[in-house]
Each structure stands twice: as structure tokens, then as C-alpha cells.
Amino acid sequence: MTPLSAPAAAAPVLSLPRIGFLGVGWIGRHRMEAMIGAGTVEVAAIADALPGNSAEAARLAPRAARLDSFDALLDQDLDGLVIATPSALHAQQSIRALERGIPVFCQKPLGRTLMEVQEVIEAARRADRLLGVDLSYRGTAGMRAIRDRVVAGELGDVHAVDLVFHNAYGPDKPWFYDPLLSGGGCMMDLGVHLIDLALWTLGFPEVEGISADLFSKGRRLSDRAAQVEDHGLATIRLAGGRLIRIACSWHLHAGQDAVIAAEFHGDRAGAAFRNVGGSFYDFTADLFRGTTRETLTTSGDAWGGYMAAAWADRLARSAGFDPDCERLACVAAVLDGIYAAAPDG
């Protein structure tokens, strides 16, 4: 997939920031490729617990130092760090980098709990360093088009939002199914994107209540210390009576690889972001008025690296703290609320 360039720069960049990459499996390498393709970084160093991953990444950045530990990476002369390691490591690795004065771009989730996320945000604030998280679906052309129209008032009062992310396969790495390492199942892995898309599109409104149900292998989740959910349903009640409804799953009998959608219902119009033919990568976005449909975007945009490239572009201009990262706590608070609200089996 060809990387999508970051948004147009407002001022010239005099030198490229030197970036380290911690964790260069598929997702880490893809984000590296996006940043290289955007022309906004120099890949200075890479580190991964698996030598094969480092070797693959070195093909993209042959002049980068190949290191064998996180400590060695922190000792490099870095202007920023990209983290793509298992979820249990994200918060502490981000904090350690920020405390060394190194800006961070981390894979989601930034932390397994609201407390972890708040600790990272506070570390970024204290260090006055840029913090970003790869909530990648914000980078799709379809969701950006829908958000623009919601913000402009074209949908009117958006009173209901329905979002789904069903993955017919589920993760292939064992740590995803370990509650201690992952922090949760499909809601932590997929639901985080849905929560973020809804709150981001609506301008992060106040949340007044949450109800949820979590399942594992067809039965209600009974022991979060021993299991993670593979099917989750949640309703988020917003100020003013608006509702967000979320459904996500791993290993669902979906009849296709994936079902991904975000639908926004307003009193003037509606809008929908949907995947095409079961794809994880191709999406369309449409605006609805009564029985008429207006196509906003068609499939084919190379969105996967958009957030990474945008972070690198921002970093090239300023490494300082961005208060927008405080919104990450809003998403984490809803996730905490979902897990707290779900009844035991």
C-alpha cells in the first residue's frame, strides 16, 4: 500500500528529524515506510526482539543502526521514537522515552487503562514533548470527509451514531488473548478505534453513562483476569440524550473478512463510512438526505500511514507538547467504563 503523504506543510523544514523505531513487525515497518515515503524523517535506529523483523526493516532503511534493546535505542541521538510493541509495554516505554526528552508516536492503545494513559500524557506535559497515537482510521478520506460535514453542520443535530468492527479472523499473536498483556480483547483492540471515531467526529462531547455486554466463545465473559472478550456491545449516552452504539468482535461468522462501518444520524442528513466487499483497507463514504445519496469518497485512498506521516510532519516543525493529546484520556475513560459496566457471566 503506497503511503499517504502528510498534510501540506505551513513552513519549510530545515532538517529531517532522526527517528528511532521500537518494534518493527508488520505494523511498525508499514509506519516506517509511510514516514519515509512522506519524506519527513530520517530513520536513525531500529530495535526489535526478533532479528528477522529488524532485518526486514533494514531493507527499508539500510543506514539505520540495528540495536538489540530498548535501552540501546534510548541512548541514540533521536528526535523522536515510534513504538509498535505489545500493548502491555506501550505506557512504560512511552514514559521512559518522554522522560529522556524524546517525542513519541505509539501504536494504540496508548495504555491498558485510563490511569496508564493519564500517566503518559502527564509525562509528555512535564517533558514538553510531542505525543501521538496511531488511531489510524482518522486518516481515512471517508472519515475525514464525514467529520468535516458534521463540524460544518450539514447533518444537523447528530443524535445517534452506530459503529461496528467485526474481524472474522482475530489476532494471530498469543499476547492478544492474555488479559494482563493486552488489557482486554476485541473492545481494546477494535473498539478503541470506534470510540475514538465517534468522539473525534462529534467534538469529544461529555459522556453521561455507559452500558455494555462482553462475551467469550458465545458465553458472557465471567473472569476478566483469565479471559478476554471476543464479542463486545456497548451503548454510550452523551449529554443531551445522544447515543453512540458500538459492536465489535473477533472470529465472528461474518460471511466475509471484515464488517466495518460508522453511521451518523442527524436531523438534516445522515452519513455512512463502510468497508467494501469485506476489505480491511477499502472504504466508501456517503451522505444521505431522505432517499438520495451523495458519494463523498470512493475506495482506494492509501490511508494506513496518514497518522504516522502527519505526526512526523508536526514533529519536524515543533517537538513541543500538543494539548490535543489530552483527548486520548477521553477514549481511555470510555474503555474503562465499558469494562466496568459489563456484567459478569
- Residue-level pLDDT at 3: 39
The edge-to-edge listing of strands for the beta sheet with 270-275 is: 219-220, 207-216, 231-238, 243-250, 158-167, 258-266, 270-275, 283-289, 292-297
Out of 3.90.1170.50, 3.40.50.720, 3.40.50.300, 3.40.50.150, the CATH code matching 18-133 is: 3.40.50.720
**CB 22 within 8 Å of CB 90:** no
- Residue-level pLDDT at 2: 36
For residues 183-222, one letter each, b for 16 or more C-beta atoms within 10 angstroms of the residue's C-beta and e for the rest, the string is bbbbbbbbbbbbbbbbbbbbeebebeebebbbbbeeeebe
For residues 55-88, one letter each, b for 16 or more C-beta atoms within 10 angstroms of the residue's C-beta and e for the rest, the string is ebbbebbeebebbeebeebbebebbbbbbbbbbb
The reported pTM is: 0.93
Partners of 283 in beta bridges: 275
Domain ranges within the chain, ordered by starting residue: 18-133, 137-302
**CB 114 within 8 Å of CB 336:** yes
What is the second-level CATH architecture of the domain 137-302?
2-Layer Sandwich (3.30)
DSSP secondary structure letter of residue 218: T
For every one of its 345 residues, what pLDDT tens digit does the chain have, with 9 covering 90 and above?
Answer: 333 444 444 445 457 999 999 999 999 999 999 889 888 899 999 999 888 899 999 999 999 999 989 999 999 999 999 999 999 999 999 999 999 999 999 999 999 999 999 999 999 999 999 999 999 999 999 999 999 999 999 999 999 999 999 999 999 999 999 999 999 999 999 999 999 999 999 999 999 999 999 999 999 998 888 999 999 999 999 999 999 999 999 999 999 999 999 999 999 999 999 999 999 999 999 999 999 999 999 999 989 899 999 999 999 999 999 999 999 999 999 999 999 999 986
Residue 235 has φ and ψ, to the nearest 5°, of -120, 125
**Which cell is 274 given?**
463502510
Partners of 220 in beta bridges: 215
- Residue-level pLDDT at 38: 85
Which DSSP string do the residues of 232-251 spell out, in sequence order?
A: EEEEEEEGGG-EEEEEEEES
DSSP secondary structure letter of residue 206: P
The tally of CA atoms less than 13 A away on the side-chain side of residue 278 is 9
